[in-house]
Structure 1
Amino acid sequence: MSFSNPTLITFMVYIAVMVLIGLVAYRSTRNLSDYILGGRRLGGVVTALSAGASDMSGWLLMGLPGAIYMSGLSEGWIAVGLIAGAYLNWLIVAGRLRVHTEHNGDALTLPDYFASRFNDHSGLLRVISALVILVFFTIYCASGIVAGARLFETTFGMPYEYAVWAGAAATIAYTLLGGFLAVSWTDTVQATLMIFALILTPVVVVLATGGTETSLALIKEAQPGHFDVLQGATFIGIISLLAWGLGYFGQPHILARFMAAASVKSITQARRISMTWMSLCLIGTCAAGFFGVAYFTANPHLGDAVAANPERVFMELSRLLFNPWVAGVILSAIFAAVMSTLSCQLLVCSSALTEDFYRQFVRKDASQRELVWVGRSMVLLVALIAIALAANPNSQVLELVGYAWAGFGAAFGPVVVLSLLWKGMTRYGALAGMVCGAVTVLAWKEQGGFGLGLYEIIPGFIAATLAIVVGSLLEGRSPALVARFEAADKAWRQASR
């Protein structure tokens, strides 16, 4: 696929703006708190759009439209699960986590919060949680770099080995320079681009196909089963798709946005904005894939690229239906989906290495300036490792990405939720839950779900929850932990009024 020069120019301008934002954020970064959490001063709009953009990766504009194009509305159950999970995450976790992290040593990272919340002086809880983050997110980063490389490769005709570096360079640059502020500000721009593309594209597709009635008639003629939300579905299959929503409770890059919010009050506004943005984006991406069937049924001579790879349906519709200047904006939106998530993953990995390893075990008395530069160095280190993993796009390590979401959701989700709701939770309970959740997901996946076809996050989440309860009851309550929990919970209730 080749785009004309206006498209290339638009795309390059977009990348230049992202790097410029990184330079501006660089001037506002004075200490490690600024670099990791933006000094806890994100407003409601930035918190909302940054959380949304960091969540919705390239799958939103490639994977999901392709699945809907191939299988119809029965693939839309995952969107229902994601919306429900994200809403509950904002409602139950966001405000509480913002307050509890501040009351527990002003924690800057999730491992830091766990260690402070449960008085883990051994460092074991911090190390295990940081290792889970590093392993899964380094693989996630490799996946994002591959997605960006494929976009550069197919759009600009670059050899893959050069496209890997081109796709990663801009994201590495602004993340390394500006840290959390750069990532959050660029996420806001990227979220705006994404919703623009996802609302505009399906509308233009329907108009180009002759209107809504004509489009629906064409789909019914070509793929009548696409209208059936239960086509090929089983009870376990639907439950598994809905269970994707459970993953939100344990995603470090999303939870970091809650921790960085300026106040609990701003989170209420952020929840409304984020859920509106997310719902519109998911409706738009499903509509693009669904009505794409009508367009390529009416224009079969244009559908070879989509027939070869359904995940290109959104890109092909953009290329065929828009003016080259507008197509450049749509292309930027696709790359924005990749960049927004990749940048957050790089920063979370850097935070774990800097705050939870370097500061805790290497140089406890390191200056803020030193820690910021260590953080920047860690961004570059993780990025280089991810690029090395992405050098072979068919590497088997990328197969792990399919259950990295489940791994985080099961390992961290129950620990986060119960740590915010149950004052009787203890260090042993947290350790047991984290280990049981991760191990159950890995074992379930490796054994092919034991023939049940159930998404691995469900048994992982259940096992982790039971392990937390049993481990905590066996250890017994600590008066100090209970007192600190009650103080934080009281502060949250007062701030929520």
Structure 2
Amino acid sequence: MLYLIGLAAIGAYCTRLNRTLADFVLGGRRMGVWVTAISAQASDMSAWLLIGLPATAYATGLSVAWAVIGCAAGTVFNWVVIAPRLRRASEATGALTIPDYLAARFGEGPLRLVRVVSVLVILLAYATYIASQFMAAGKIFETTFGHIETPWGTVGLGYHSGMLVGVGIILLYTTMGGFTAVAWTDLAQGLLMVLTVVVLPVVGLVGLGGLAVMWDELGAAAPSLLTVSEGKGGLAFVMGVCVAGLSWGLGYPGQPHILVRFMALRDPKRMWRAAVIGIVWVVLAMTGAVFVGLVGRAMVADLADTDHVMPALAVRLMHPAVVGLMIAGAVAAMMSTVDSQLLVAASAVEEDIYIRLLGGRARQRRAVWIGRFAVLGLGAAALPIAWNRESVFQTVFDAWGVLAAGLGPVV
């Protein structure tokens, strides 16, 4: 709870920094190297890192490596090819959003179709993407705080009540602080995320007795867990496992919540430093997340919902105080993405719809408030989608694919 209160405090502090629309949307392009690098990758990975990826490793074993390779390759491509060019071009054209940039790059087109289509892709995909993070919040709080003994009996958070707690905090600091609050909280959350996925599997391996014991347990549970093919061959392996995993990398140029981080870096000449930090973070974090799933399969073999593997492993291995810190890491993973996506979608509403398409002439302060109300509206729109339990991994994959196909090629 202290962690969540701290996030709200950051949002309140950053409110005073939002004097213009550019401040609210891009932090005035004043972000440093570390904030840019870690916030870009934290918003990229989302609850997929601590919930979806370990769950897939738990269920399928080493075949999840194809998705890790795809994501790592996509990350490198984004930093090396997209980031420097997008940073320079967005400042030269004055673009504040990805639809802004595309309209400046290719022209508005008849009926302003370039801007209209890109805004629709963002809003439709993000409704599902944001819902996947809300699902993760519900599952995290349900697993960790579902049964708490008190002098008055057993109390706890269920899936829906836990989801509402996480949603409330996110909407609070995102609406108040804008991009600056989101970027700085993502820096803190990114560091906490990588700490969680590194420490938890190491402690688990020590508890098991080492890597050899883990491999033996996995082989006894299902030999296919120790292969990169899920035990499949021929076309089923090539298309269903290998290509499906590697295809994650194709989506990176189409993810606005990552791309806007490149646009916000203060000094374009220091982009290479941010790239090194971001790439190292991704490789370390994804490797750790895979081992969370593998260690979890070796130690906790009877999970009804594989999305619960990370919090279940933390509860089994750690002191309650450390469990709280690690659950904060899982919550951080969810928050670091959903706050960024809410802000990108709200920016599309205020900048691309209200000002550019509808010809609004709002004053800067009023435009900021339009963005804040848009954040609240988009959060509310995602809640009904998240109300039913679904796989976090699959829901993220669906939304990722829409953005990849809709925006990736033109970016």
Q: Fold conserved (TM > 0.5)?
A: yes
* Deviation for aligned residue 1:132: 1.0
Distance 1:161 1:295 in 2: 28
Secondary structure (helix, strand or coil) at the match of 1:239 reads: helix
Q: Indicate if the aligned counterparts of 1:101 and 1:108 stay in contact, CA closer than 8 A.
A: yes
* Deviation for aligned residue 1:164: 3.2
Instruction: Find the structure with the greater CA-based Rg.
Output: 1
Q: Indicate if the aligned counterparts of 1:23 and 1:174 stay in contact, CA closer than 8 A.
A: yes
Residue 343 of structure 1: aligned partner: 339
Note the 1:69-468 alignment, pairs <5 A: 69-104=58-93, 106-120=94-108, 122-156=111-145, 157-233=156-232, 234-237=237-240, 238-296=242-300, 303-304=301-302, 306=303, 308-393=304-389, 401-416=396-411
Distance 1:388 1:72 in 2: 32
Evaluate the alpha carbon distance shift between residue 31 and residue 252 of structure 1 in structure 2; reply closer, same or farther with a 3 A threshold: same
Note the 1:36-55 alignment, pairs <5 A: 36-55=25-44
* Deviation for aligned residue 1:179: 0.6
The question of 1:66 aligning with 2:61 is answered no
* Deviation for aligned residue 1:311: 2.1
Secondary structure (helix, strand or coil) at the match of 2:410 reads: helix
Secondary structure (helix, strand or coil) at the match of 1:229 reads: coil
Q: Indicate if the aligned counterparts of 1:144 and 1:338 stay in contact, CA closer than 8 A.
A: yes
Deviates more, 1:167-176 or 1:120-129: 120-129
Distance 2:43 2:137 in 1: 15
Distance 1:170 1:146 in 2: 15
Q: Which amino acid aligns with 1:209?
A: L
* Deviation for aligned residue 1:109: 0.4
Count, aligned residues: 394
Q: Which ranges in structure 2 are unaligned for 5 or more consecutive residues?
A: 146-155
Q: Which amino acid aligns with 1:235?
A: V
Distance 2:144 2:287 in 1: 26
* Deviation for aligned residue 1:392: 4.0
Q: Indicate if the aligned counterparts of 1:57 and 1:341 stay in contact, CA closer than 8 A.
A: yes
Distance 1:162 1:312 in 2: 17
Q: Indicate if the aligned counterparts of 2:37 and 2:277 stay in contact, CA closer than 8 A.
A: yes
Distance 2:201 2:321 in 1: 18
Note the 1:11-30 alignment, pairs <5 A: 12-30=1-19
Secondary structure (helix, strand or coil) at the match of 1:232 reads: coil
Kindly provide the CA deviation profile for residues 53-78 of structure 1, in whole angstroms up to 9, marking residues without a partner as x. Answer: 10111121122112212221012110
Kindly provide the CA deviation profile for residues 347-392 of structure 1, in whole angstroms up to 9, marking residues without a partner as x. Answer: 0110000000111244532211111111111111111111233334
* Deviation for aligned residue 1:38: 0.6
Q: Indicate if the aligned counterparts of 2:189 and 2:329 stay in contact, CA closer than 8 A.
A: yes
* Deviation for aligned residue 1:198: 0.5
Note the 1:453-492 alignment, pairs <5 A: none
Distance 1:365 1:45 in 2: 35
- How many percent identity over aligned positions? 42
Residue 149 of structure 2: aligned partner: none
Q: Which amino acid aligns with 2:99?
A: P
Residue 148 of structure 2: aligned partner: none
Distance 1:280 1:175 in 2: 28
Q: For the aligned residues, what is the CA RMSD?
A: 1.9
Q: Which amino acid aligns with 1:342?
A: V
Evaluate the alpha carbon distance shift between residue 279 and residue 113 of structure 1 in structure 2; reply closer, same or farther with a 3 A threshold: same
Distance 2:113 2:357 in 1: 12
Distance 1:67 1:146 in 2: 16
* Deviation for aligned residue 1:88: 0.7
Evaluate the alpha carbon distance shift between residue 243 and residue 206 of structure 1 in structure 2; reply closer, same or farther with a 3 A threshold: same
Residue 152 of structure 2: aligned partner: none
Kindly provide the CA deviation profile for residues 178-204 of structure 1, in whole angstroms up to 9, marking residues without a partner as x. Answer: 011111101011101111011101110
Q: Indicate if the aligned counterparts of 1:47 and 1:184 stay in contact, CA closer than 8 A.
A: yes
Kindly provide the CA deviation profile for residues 239-258 of structure 1, in whole angstroms up to 9, marking residues without a partner as x. Answer: 22111101001101111111
* Deviation for aligned residue 1:410: 1.5
Distance 2:230 2:160 in 1: 40
Distance 2:243 2:158 in 1: 41
Q: Indicate if the aligned counterparts of 2:86 and 2:263 stay in contact, CA closer than 8 A.
A: yes
Q: Which amino acid aligns with 1:142?
A: A
The 4+ residue runs of structure 1 with deviation greater than 4 A are 398-401
* Deviation for aligned residue 1:400: 6.4
Distance 2:132 2:225 in 1: 29
Distance 1:164 1:289 in 2: 23
Q: Which ranges in structure 1 are unaligned for 5 or more consecutive residues?
A: 1-11, 297-302, 417-497
* Deviation for aligned residue 1:325: 0.8
Distance 1:64 1:189 in 2: 21
Deviates more, 1:209-218 or 1:176-185: 209-218
Distance 1:212 1:182 in 2: 40
Evaluate the alpha carbon distance shift between residue 280 and residue 256 of structure 1 in structure 2; reply closer, same or farther with a 3 A threshold: same
Q: Which gives a bigger RCO, structure 1 or 2 (Cα 8 Å, sep 6+)?
A: 2
Q: Which amino acid aligns with 1:311?
A: D
Secondary structure (helix, strand or coil) at the match of 2:229 reads: coil
